Amino acid sequence: MSASYFAHIGFFNPYLPLWLKDLGFSITIIGLLTAVQAATRVLAPYGWGWLSDHTGERVKLLRFCAGAALLCSCGLLVEGGVGWLAFVLLLMFIHTSAMMPMSEAALAHWVSSGKGFDARRYGRVRLWGSLGFLVTVMAAGVWFERMGMQSFPVWAVGSLLLLNVSVWWLPNHREAAHHDEARPPVWGVLRQSHVQWFFATVFFHVLSHIGVYVFFSLYLDELGYSKTMIGVLWAVSVAAEIVWFFTQSRWLPRFSLSTWLLICAAVMVLRMGLTTWAAGWLFALLLAQVLHALTFATHHTVCISLLSQYFPDRLRGRGQALYSSIGYGVPGVLGAMGGGALSDAFGLSTVYGVSMAMSVLACGCAWRCVRSND
């Protein structure tokens, strides 16, 4: 399931802006349409997370969301304007955005034991997601370079069909539901200072990443890189994260989890600096993409591990949903809409300058997170 889910993401997220550009939309409109995905991550994941915690039926909910997303994706095959695309993407993303936190909650449960979260087992499963992303981002880049962007909707339907097959292949595991017990106090966890600084770090770290998630393909296209090379640069970053996921159990014990957050934020400053000022130099871009191993893969594993500590058992689904909403929902909306406006006014390179400033703020929050955990 991890491989098929990220295979869908691997073609959809990098090439959606290029498809929208091919349809003739401005960067501002592209920013607004890509922000729809982030907007659905603000509230929808928490509702799905609460439902999965309450019922314990994470696999059945994953199957429902995958099926609904496939049905909605057929709307991309119908020609329409901005309003129609926004409506279709909204319905799609309400369901696909719910799958990430629910699948991560289920995976965290399955790889945890009496000794706590097992980073080695988690990494060995999660690297299949990276492999799925790697395959489609490369294949789609070559395909779209030769055949054009017109087949993008067909790719969307096909990848979601594959996801449905894999979700129905999952064992129908059901966690214990506790209908009659009082709900665990989420607000009690959120009042803890180290949890607050953790979410603040995640917010600014992912906000600095939005320049990559939303505008990187457009940025490279503007600089004259071919779609094949765009796919290669995306693939380099994913290959780096695969290496990390496979070997992370060797490196994670060397520092505390909160210290790793600080390291990831500091490396993000370097990555955004290279992307801002040296993007015309292919070697510098390749180096920046290799740093994805730390700025995404390490950061993601550390966050999942901390969430397993902060939000155990019946809080797991809601903890993952809060991570999705605070870390990807609100920053995604702000980054996509603000980045589109900045790009139209001052050029796409401006987005990466702002991203570097956000990563500096992430460093400050991560430092406070380290201090509050001491």
pLDDT at residue 181 tops 70: no
* pTM of the predicted structure, to 2 decimals: 0.81
| DSSP symbol at 203 | H
Sign of the torsion angle spanned by Cα atoms 114, 119, 124, 128:
positive
- What whole-number distance in Å separates Cα of residue 274 and Cα of residue 46? 35
Asked if pLDDT for residue 374 goes beyond 70, the answer is no
Predicted confidence (pLDDT) at residue 185 exceeds the cutoff of 60 = yes
Distance CA 365, CA 3 (A): 32
- In the predicted model, is pLDDT for residue 340 greater than 70? yes
Q: What is the mean pLDDT of the chain?
A: 89
pLDDT, position 104: 77
The encoded tokens of residue 79 equal: 């020609």
pLDDT value at residue 53: 72
**Would you state the structure tokens that stand for residue 347, as one six-digit string?**
């050029």
- Asked if residue 154 has pLDDT above 80, the reply is yes
Q: Residues 3-9: what's their mean pLDDT?
A: 92
The pLDDT score that the predictor gives to residue 19 is: 95
| Rounded average pLDDT over 143-158 | 94
pLDDT at 218: 92
pLDDT, tens only, 65-117: 999 999 999 999 998 899 999 999 999 998 988 787 788 777 877 887 666 77
Single-letter code of the amino acid located at 317: G
Banded model confidence at residue 318, pLDDT cuts 50, 70, 90: confident
> What mean pLDDT do residues 312-331 have?
82
Confidence at residue 180, expressed as pLDDT on a 0 to 100 scale: 45
Distance CA 207, CA 113 (A): 33
CA dihedral 365, 368, 369, 371 (to 10 degrees): 160
- What pLDDT does 362 receive? 97
Average pLDDT of span 286-312: 93
Measure the CA–CA gap between 95 and 99, rounded to whole angstroms.
7
DSSP state of 26: -
Reported as a single tens digit per residue, the pLDDT across 46-58 is 777 777 777 778 8
In the predicted structure, residue 32 carries a pLDDT above the cut 70: yes
pLDDT > 70? residue 172:
yes
DSSP three-state, residue 116: strand
Helix (H, G, I), strand (E, B) or coil at 113: strand
Q: Which percentage of the chain shows pLDDT scores above 70?
A: 96
pLDDT average, residue stretch 21-25: 93
Please say whether the beta carbons of 368 and 261 come within 8 A.
no
Q: What is the pLDDT of residue 4?
A: 94
Provide the pLDDT for residue 38. 81
Structure tokens at 46: 């928490």
Tell me what percent of the residues of the chain surpass a pLDDT of 90: 56
